[in-house]
Chain A
Amino acid sequence: MSETSTNMAIHTISVYVANKPGVLARIAQIFARRGFNIDSLVVSPSSDGRYSRMTIASQGSAEGLEQIILQVSKLVDVMHCMDHSTGDAIVREMALAKLRVTFEQRTEVLQICEHFGCKTVDLTPTAMTVMVTGPSEKLDACLAMLRQFELVELVRTGKVVMARGDEVT
């Protein structure tokens, strides 16, 4: 593949796999061998417990990723593997942000939270932990606002993705 045509967009890939040991290692290996970093990864059992759903966000060239998807699809324990970056899909993510907040700052933080539809999940005289959910871009915007205060720690779940309408992911 020519280096010039690389387009380093972030891709959201969903993989439907048999719920067996070693599957994640095999998939991760294919990404690693091609030099692709996995930005986020969500794995959980699907509605049918024999299978798991993985949602992988990764950055890299579209051509390279196409090859990765073909190779992942080939694995014995993989049912299917799809890139949802271009199609119309529901993408959601959740983040927990812990802030050190003084009494004077609290109202302003709550205003920001209200604007972004965040939930306060923990509140003490000196700290508060807020939960924000939504598309990743919304999380980025909300967190940019919250960073004005002292951000003690941040945990993001990574994206999950689902096809819209009656299409299957």
Chain B
Amino acid sequence: MSEKTMTGAEALVRCLENEGVEYIFGLSGGAALPIFDAIVESKIKLILVRHEQGATHMADGYARATGKPGVVLVTSGPGATNTITGILTAHMDSVPMIVLTGQTISPMLGKDAFQEADVFGLTMPVVKHSYLIKSTESIPRVLREAMHITSSGRPGPVLIDVPKDFSAGEFAGDLYPEMDLPGFSPDSVEPDQTIVRQIAEALSKSRKPVILAGHGALISGAEDVLRQLAEKMQAPVTNTLLGKGAFPESHPLSLGMLGMHGTAYANKALVDCDLVMSVGSRFDDRIIGKAPLFCRDAVRIHIDIDPSEFGRMIQCDHYCQGDAKIVLERLLEHVGELNTKKWLTTLDGYKRRYPLTYKKRGGLKMQQILDTLNTMTGGDAIMVTDVGQHQMWAAQFCRTEKPNTWLSSGGAGTMGYGLPAGIGAAFGKPKSPVWVIAGDGGFQMTMCELATAAINKIPVKVIVMNNRYLGMVRQWQTMFYDDRKSGVDLEGNPDFAKLTEAFPGGKGFTLKRAGDIRKVLEKAMAYNDGPCVINAIVEKTDNVFPMIPAGAPLEEMLISEPKSNQKLEKPTGST
């Protein structure tokens, strides 16, 4: 109960403190004034961003690196609509996040008031849940429910729209109210024992199994039991882009990432396997290629906490609803070593025949920078990527050994994600070095957040893979559109090193020659007084391989650059 009178906003901030919130990433504005005022007295640290999209990606990066929900606070209207890209990104990748938006006073709702936007309606398809506050007294209950919803079961963003009259209004309610969520039964975590036994039996019959680890395995903290299970069964493990870190990629049983730009051996393993067991992956179109043909002769097992994923992309033989960690623990009791010696020999053959590789001749290669960075960090850093060619090469060459050290926008493929997400991760994990790998296109979308990093002395290390192209689109135009380039030329980029130096505490490096890679990376590692940016002038027109054209089955993987006279059909899948 309140000892002295407080406002709704003060109650809100008190509740955030009680929930253990350390940081709020935000940008102020009229309709959110009472909340910003309430933060002045709070122990929560407000991180002022330069654009609201940046705030959402920072909260996202913070959440992915720590496992705790990230909190965003913005004003109404454009402040709120600027968060939508970040909310979509979090929604697609199941990231816990609370987005607080200021709103016009309640009597003005729906009257096109200044800076009014129906953000409750606008965000509905991209949130796990949302609220429009209807009274000052309801604020603590709503916040408690939101915190519960955002992280339980399959996580996702929750938006709370707060009309200014309620945040400014006098609060006389209970700061610790009961939740009122009769319809919300967080996805059940305990699996059905019968199904577990059926899966164990299917596994015991398999001679060529593949475990497919997705983001769900990381969210549930299943990495230890996954490793035990894989080692006990002697089954190889492949991971999705977001599943990087669920299983150490340097492990002899690891096949690395599968899918459109996955390793050739992972994709070949899926073509040849007699059983595939997905642990917390949603069989995204990036990994299955042509859905009806994906592992069509294999026994397919789908383990997921969210039953609405079952049968959505492909039909499986066994569906098991439950928390990945708990399901694998139950499975561990029922399975023994499988007879996979021959299978592992075959896969080792694929690994030797089709290694990830690149030519060291010619200009500066992104792959070589990433390969060197991987050797230098030894997996002991948080890697954050933007979206595009560099992202795929980073996924290939930067091996992820530990959970929550690989942050990338997967489902949404949000360009501009990298830098702000890296800043958010650095706030959450101040002791861990944070590297951001970005392209010159994506970096320019949110590079204003260098100011946020500089002012807070965040030693985030950014490599801008500067090929003066929107490289991934250019690759598709080259391969499938007769090299007719359209809307991809970024010649005339600013000097990113100089640009960084314009921010107080910012440090810029330029990397032009392969021989300087190690030296420049070492300098960047040694710089910890603020953000640093390596402007890496890389080769203009390198292409990412292996590649499965969108919508094609895994069998049609191109392991390396097709011959120049080989005409490729336009892919039937989406992007």
Contacts and interface: CB of A to CB of B under 8 A. Distances in A.
A3 to B, nearest CB: 11
Given A66-B311, A67-B312, A25 B121 contact: yes
A76 B308 contact: no
B182 A18 contact: yes
B183 A70 contact: no
A77 B311 contact: no
Interface string B102-122: 000000000000000000110
A67 B308 contact: yes
A75 B184 CA distance: 8
Contact of B130 (A17, A18, A22): A22
Interface of B: 120-121, 124-125, 128-130, 132, 149, 181-184, 292, 306-308, 310-312
A74 interface: yes
Q: Nearest 10 CB-CB pairs, A to B?
A: A70-B308, A76-B129, A79-B183, A76-B184, A77-B183, A71-B308, A18-B183, A74-B308, A78-B183, A29-B125
Interface of A: 2, 17-18, 21-22, 25-26, 29, 33, 50-51, 63, 66-67, 70-71, 73-79
A17 B292 contact: no
Contact of A76 (B128, B132, B292, B312): B128
Given A22-B130, A66-B311, A76-B184, 19 more contacts: A17-B183, A18-B182, A21-B132, A22-B120, A22-B132, A25-B121, A26-B124, A29-B124, A33-B125, A50-B182, A51-B182, A67-B311, A70-B307, A70-B310, A71-B308, A74-B308, A76-B181, A76-B183, A77-B184
A43 B124 CA distance: 20
Contacts of A73: 308
Contacts of A25: 121, 124
A92 to B, nearest CB: 26
* Secondary structure class of chain B's binding surface, majority of residues: mixed
A22 B183 contact: no
B216 to A, nearest CB: 15
Most buried by A among B132, B308, B310, B311: B308
30 contacts: A18-B182, A18-B183, A21-B132, A22-B120, A22-B124, A22-B130, A22-B132, A25-B121, A29-B124, A50-B182, A51-B182, A63-B311, A66-B311, A67-B308, A67-B311, A67-B312, A70-B308, A71-B308, A74-B306, A74-B308, A75-B183, A76-B128, A76-B149, A76-B181, A76-B183, A77-B183, A77-B184, A78-B183, A79-B182, A79-B183
Contact of A2 (B128, B132, B292): B292
A25 B132 CA distance: 14
A26 B124 CA distance: 7
A63 B311 CA distance: 9
A115 B61 CA distance: 69
Nearest to B128: A76
A17 B307 CA distance: 19
Nearest to B125: A29
A33 B292 CA distance: 22
A77 B183 CA distance: 5
Most buried by A among B124, B132, B149: B124
Contacts of A51: 182
Most buried by B among A17, A51, A71: A71
A63 B121 CA distance: 28
Contacts of B311: 63, 66-67
A86 B128 CA distance: 30
A33 B120 CA distance: 18
Contacts of A26: 124
Contacts of B310: 70
B144 to A, nearest CB: 14
Most buried by B among A66, A76, A77, A79: A76
B135 to A, nearest CB: 13
Contacts of B292: 2
Contacts of A79: 182-183
B245 to A, nearest CB: 26
B166 to A, nearest CB: 15
Nearest to A28: B124
A136 B126 CA distance: 36
Nearest to A69: B308
Contacts of B307: 70
B450 to A, nearest CB: 37
B187 to A, nearest CB: 8
A79 B129 CA distance: 15
Contacts of A71: 308
Nearest to A68: B308
B304 to A, nearest CB: 11
A25 B118 CA distance: 13
Contacts of A66: 311
Contacts of B120: 22
Contacts of B121: 25
Contacts of B124: 22, 25-26, 29
Nearest to A18: B183
Contacts of A33: 125
